[in-house]
């Protein structure tokens, strides 16, 4: 029997499967970093989502760790290099929430096109503001997708069904593959200058941090609207706030932030800003899939069996 420390909300199905496999599932959510350092010794597996920071120090304290399971996609909160050095396997659930994230992106695109949260807030406040919240259609607009991976492609299909033209920037995708999807691959400057809406679907790396900043808004089509359901920090929030204030950006819908929760973000309170609290993967379906996948990966790793790429 192994001790599996779970530090964030994971769907019951996955945790029950680990219990059924005979493991001691120790759920301790909301730990401060110092509390995590106290909780991790003696754990053989650690299961997390995006909030728990698995630093080299945590891995050092978790001397018995065999595996870290990330119930979701992004691994930017895990020091994978340090884990590898210590022989700790890091597994994730890369397919689990791609549909939910793509659908949330569409909800954000529609919200930023039609001012739905602002209009709702006004109505709830007793104001009937029909002429104030005139929006734009998505049809015949150009959507710039930065990052044409699994989620970016799902967004492209859905946006095409709304009648949008799609351009994309992704140095890792072959132009022929993009053409098959009816998408023009362009550089970031061309995307900025052509797109009416832009949506980001990139991982957080030193190369992508701050990739959407002053320069981007200076080159962008005036009034460009932007959506980010990928990773916080990819957009320079101070630059975005300035662009929203002077009209270079016509609206921004963000699900992820440089700091989460974004208590000090300059975006909060700006009229063109729409925000959700990192909800891209928060559907019953995605959480069930992530929980089941990660539980199975962790079970295999603890049994010393081959862990296939999920
Ligand atoms: C992910 O990277 O998969 C998301 O951040 C999911 C989550 O909310 O954990």
ipTM score assigned to the predicted complex? 0.91
Q: What is the pTM of this model?
A: 0.95
pLDDT tens digits along 54-110: 999 999 999 999 999 999 999 999 999 999 999 999 999 999 999 999 999 999 999
Q: How far apart are CA 213 and CA 236, in angstroms?
A: 5
Choose which residue among 74, 78, 94, 234 to substitute to test ligand 1 binding: the one with the highest number of ligand atoms within 8 A of its C-beta.
74
Ramachandran area for residue 185 (φ above 0: left; ψ -120 to 50: alpha; else beta): beta
Q: What superfamily would CATH give domain 98-275?
A: NAD(P)-binding Rossmann-like Domain (3.40.50.720)
Which pLDDT belongs to residue 309?
80
**CA–CA distance, 195 with 143 (Å, rounded to integer):** 5
pLDDT band at 226 (very low <50, low <70, confident <90, very high): very high
Pocket test for ligand 1, best of 9, 49, 100, 261 (most atoms within 8 A of CB): 49
Helix (H) or strand (E) holding 55: none
- CATH 3.40.50.720 domain range(s) in the chain: 3-96+284-302, 98-275
Measured from the Cα of 286, ligand 1's closest atom is 6
Ligand 1: centre distance to CA 282 (Å) = 8
Catalytic site includes residue 130? no
The answer to whether 304 and 98 have CB atoms below 8 angstroms apart is no
Is the CATH code 3.40.50.720 the one for domain 3-96+284-302?
yes
Confidence of residue 26 (pLDDT cuts 50, 70, 90): very high
The neighbouring-strand residues paired with 249 are: 224
């Amino acid at each position: 029997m192994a001790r599996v420390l779970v530090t964030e909300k994971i769907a019951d199905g996955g945790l029950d499967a680990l219990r059924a496999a005979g493991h001691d599932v120790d759920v301790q959510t909301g730990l401060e970093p110092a509390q995590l350092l106290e909780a991790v010794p003696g754990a053989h597996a650690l299961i997390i989502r995006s909030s728990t920071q698995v630093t080299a120090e945590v891995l050092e304290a978790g001397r018995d760790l065999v595996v870290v399971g990330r119930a979701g996609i992004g691994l930017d909160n895990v020091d994978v290099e340090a884990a590898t050095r210590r022989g700790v396997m890091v597994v994730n659930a890369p397919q689990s929430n791609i549909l939910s994230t793509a659908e949330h992106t569409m909800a954000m695109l529609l919200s930023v096109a039609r001012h739905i949260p602002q209009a709702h807030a006004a109505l709830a406040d007793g104001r009937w503001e029909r002429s104030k919240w005139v929006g734009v259609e998505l049809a015949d607009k150009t959507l710039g997708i930065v990052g044409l991976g699994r989620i970016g492609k799902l967004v492209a299909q859905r946006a095409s069904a709304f009648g949008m033209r799609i351009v994309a920037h992704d140095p890792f995708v072959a132009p022929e593959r993009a053409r098959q999807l009816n998408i023009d691959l362009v550089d970031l400057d061309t995307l900025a200058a052509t797109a009416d809406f832009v949506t980001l679907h990139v991982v957080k790396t030193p190369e992508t941090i701050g990739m959407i900043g002053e320069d981007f808004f200076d080159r962008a089509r005036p009034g460009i609207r932007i959506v980010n359901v990928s990773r916080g920090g990819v957009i320079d929030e101070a630059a975005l706030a300035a662009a929203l204030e002077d009209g270079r950006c016509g609206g921004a819908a963000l699900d992820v932030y440089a700091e989460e929760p974004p208590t000090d973000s300059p975006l909060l309170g700006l009229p063109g800003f729409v925000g959700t609290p990192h909800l891209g993967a928060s559907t019953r379906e995605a959480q069930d899939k992530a929980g089941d996948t990660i539980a199975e990966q962790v079970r295999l790793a603890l049994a010393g069996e081959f862990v296939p790429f999920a």
